[in-house]
């Protein structure tokens, strides 16, 4: 039995970065290209919000062994930390695709997505 990889491989990181960039461009084009970086099992997403000079941290995804399954964490400015437990229950699962993570967190920081 193969074990689940603890960190995403380079191909997965590249593919997920393209998915994130494309999804943000379609839903929140006014924000420009998001800043996507990886550290170990985590993918961090930040965006330049209107009125800000530096990208604002918004989302952290924790790899769950598949490009389509990540634990979703939101950045809490009040504590300066990410939390996988503080998304409103109405927003959906705390695990999902990168696109679901964007949809569930960007709306709280940047408002609703624009119609595609």
Q: Which long-range contacts (CB under 8 A, 24 or more apart) does 53-56 make?
A: 56/109
- 33/83 Cα distance (integer angstroms): 23
* 4 inside domain: no
* 2 inside domain: no
First-last CA distance in the chain: 42
For the stretch 74-96, pLDDT in tens is 999 999 999 888 776 655 568 89
**pLDDT score recorded for residue 4:** 59
* 100 inside domain: yes
4-13: average pLDDT: 88
38's tokens: 């990886």
For the stretch 18-67, pLDDT in tens is 999 999 999 999 999 999 999 999 999 999 999 999 999 999 999 999 99
The parent domain of residue 106 ranges over 10-110
* 1 inside domain: no
The 3-state secondary structure of 70-105 reads EEEEEEECCCCEEECCCCCHHHCCCEECHHHHHHHH
Total number of domains in the chain: 1
* 48 inside domain: yes
* 98 inside domain: yes
* 42 inside domain: yes
């Amino acid at each position: 039995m193969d074990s689940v990889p603890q960190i995403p491989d380079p191909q997965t990181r590249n593919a997920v970065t393209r998915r994130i960039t494309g999804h943000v461009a379609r839903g929140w084009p006014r924000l420009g290209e998001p800043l996507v970086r990886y550290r170990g099992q985590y993918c961090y997403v930040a965006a330049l919000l209107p009125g800000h000079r530096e990208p604002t941290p918004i989302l952290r995804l924790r790899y769950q062994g598949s490009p389509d399954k990540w634990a979703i964490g939101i950045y809490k400015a009040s504590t300066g930390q990410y939390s996988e437990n503080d998304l409103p229950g109405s927003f959906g699962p705390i695990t999902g695709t990168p696109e679901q993570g964007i949809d569930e967190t960007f709306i709280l920081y940047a408002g609703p997505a624009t119609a595609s």
